[in-house]
Chains A and B, each alone.
Chain A
Amino acid sequence: MSGRAEEAVRKDGVGQVDAGYEVGISRRTLLGMATLAVTGWLLPTGAAGRWQSVAWPGAAGPRIAVVPFHREMLRAPHPWAG
């Protein structure tokens, strides 16, 4: 038994050891993710693009990724026939 595991046994009375295959998320990472989520939510649709429900606001079902419209796309080369 490793020193750390021995310490856990002494403290809790139960043999414990760190399990493998666990991904730790630091507080800093969590803070960053929360910041991104809030920022993305506050940005106007025209700047960031949004997932939009195809039925009605708040409805279940598929959602379409809506990207901002740019004038340049009207004249950009494109592959579509017809």
Chain B
Amino acid sequence: MAPRTVECRLCPKHCRIGEGEAGDCRIRMNLGGRLRAVTYGMAVAAHIDPVEKKPFFHYHPGARILSIATAGCNMHCQGCQNWQISQANPEDLEAVALPPEALADLAVRERVPLIACTYTEPLAYYEYTLDTARAARERGIPTAIVSAGYANDEPVRALFREIDAATIDVKAFDDAYYRRYCDGGLRPVLNTLVAAREAGIWLEVSNLVVPGLTDRTDGLRELSAWIHRELGPDTPLHFLRFVPHHRMQNLPPTPVATLERAWEIARDAGLRYVYLGNVRGHVSESTRCGSCGEVIIDRVGYQVQEVRVEDGRCPGCGAPIPGRFGRTR
């Protein structure tokens, strides 16, 4: 029988994969003429993190979240912070077998109220993410993803029916940047953001500010204006400080003044909840009421000192605070 080529339609790359070969993500392989997700249930990372680390700042603040990842990613960002696992072949890393049911049971056993598919690309290890969300939901545990959002509309919308929250990382509001430095594209990511908003899941947006590449005022202004217009002014936006990693070791860390300028641009665009990440101790780590400005969630680093939100409202002015603040379990 002649070797059969298969096409993967999970992400916009539409890899045509020959017998015994893998797609661009290294996760999806043609084995015996069938497309197989070879990292299914094979976690290369499994840790209990604070939910703030994802980052989620309006989603059960202070809660712990069982976070997992498999090897591989369908993008190849030159500044990837987790490149050792995202840009590796699955067979080159050690993994622990944590099938979806076992993972959900583990969360129950460890009394962790949330699960996150994160670190690499949960949309690339799609089937594992989807089945984990279903298994966790059966046990009353919400699942969140931390993703670059680069996938096709149909699988994204199907996944959003099963999960509870997402932080989507927009690399830059610039398609040329995506193509040159990330091996991706902007439009599918924006589609994913809109799909998340329409699905009604909790959504936060992050953006890595790389000095000299993604720190231009017009780009930050366009990103902020688009979020305001398409996702709403209450969408939390995290500007993350770049630290040299992987193939961007020639660039310096982002100056804090650059991040503060980004913060001002986003606030001027009308976004009410803007944060700076990877700048420990910065005043922007805490959440202030979008109406009266009172501190309602006090943070130092990833540690939540106090949550003053009462029934989803500011205790000072009574304004509703966007997010999910109820008990998880």
Contacts of B46 in A (CB 8 A): 69, 73-74
When C-beta atoms are compared, the residue in chain B nearest to A54 turns out to be B38
Q: Is the CB of A61 within 8 A of B29?
A: yes
B38 and A55 contact, CB distance less than 8 A: yes
Interface set, chain A 16-64, CB cutoff 8 A to B: 49, 52, 54-55, 59-64
What count of chain A residues pass the 8 Å CB interface test? 25
Work out how many contacts link A and B, with CB atoms closer than 8 A: 87
> What is the bound-complex CA distance between A63 and B39, given in angstroms?
10
Kindly identify which residue among A54, A69, A74, A79 contacts B39, using a CB–CB cutoff of 8 Å.
Answer: A54
Contacts of A79 in B (CB 8 A): 82, 84
B85 touches which of A54, A71, A76, A80 (Cβ 8 Å) = A80
Interface range on chain B (Cβ under 8 Å from partner): 20 to 34
Bound form: Cα–Cα A74–B38 in Å: 23
Nearest CB to that of A70 among chain B residues?
Answer: B96
Is the C-beta of A82 less than 8 angstroms from some C-beta in chain B? yes
Contact status A55-B31, CB under 8 Å: yes
The answer to whether B119 touches A61, judged by C-beta atoms less than 8 angstroms apart, is no
Residue B66, interface by CB 8 Å: yes
Contacts A54-B38, A78-B47, A81-B81 given: A62-B29 contact, CB under 8 Å? yes
Cβ–Cβ contact A66 & B96, under 8 A: yes
Q: A74 to B31, Cβ gap below 8 A? A: no
A49 to B97, CA, bound (A): 10
In the assembled complex, the CB of B315 is this many whole angstroms from the nearest CB of chain A, namely 31
The smallest beta-carbon distance between B258 and chain A, in angstroms, is: 19
Which chain A residue has the least Cβ–Cβ distance from B31?
A55
* Interfacial chain A residues near B20, Cβ < 8 Å: 60-61
Whether a CB of chain B sits under 8 angstroms from the CB of A11 is: no
Pairwise interchain contact A66-B95, C-beta atoms closer than 8 A: yes
A4 to B165, CA, bound (A): 80
Contact between A74 and B95, CB atoms less than 8 A apart: no
B14 on the A face (CB < 8 A): no
CA gap between A64 and B39 in the complex, in Å: 9
Bound CA span A60–B119, Å? 29
Interface of A: prevailing SS: loop
Distance between Cα atoms of A4 and B146 in the complex (Å):
73
B188 to chain A, nearest CB (A): 19
Stretch among B3-11, B86-94, B214-222, B227-235 lining the A interface: B86-94
- Complex Cα distance A65/B171, Å? 32
Q: Are B90 and A64 closer than 8 Å at their CB atoms?
A: yes
Distance in angstroms between the alpha carbons of A60 and B85 in the assembled complex: 24
The verdict on B36 contacting chain A, using a C-beta distance below 8 Å, is yes
What distance in Å separates the Cβ of A68 from its nearest Cβ neighbour in chain B? 7
Out of B29, B54, B94, name the residue touching A82 (CB < 8 Å): B54
Known contacts A74-B66, A82-B53: does B36 contact A55 (CB below 8 Å)?
yes
In the docked arrangement, what's the CA distance between A27 and B53, Å? 56
Enumerate 19 A-B pairs (CB-CB under 8 Å) in ascending A order: A54-B29, A54-B39, A55-B29, A55-B31, A55-B32, A55-B36, A62-B90, A64-B90, A65-B91, A65-B94, A66-B97, A67-B96, A69-B98, A73-B46, A73-B47, A73-B96, A74-B46, A75-B48, A82-B53
Chain A interface (Cβ < 8 Å from any Cβ of B): 49, 52, 54-55, 59-69, 71, 73-76, 78-82
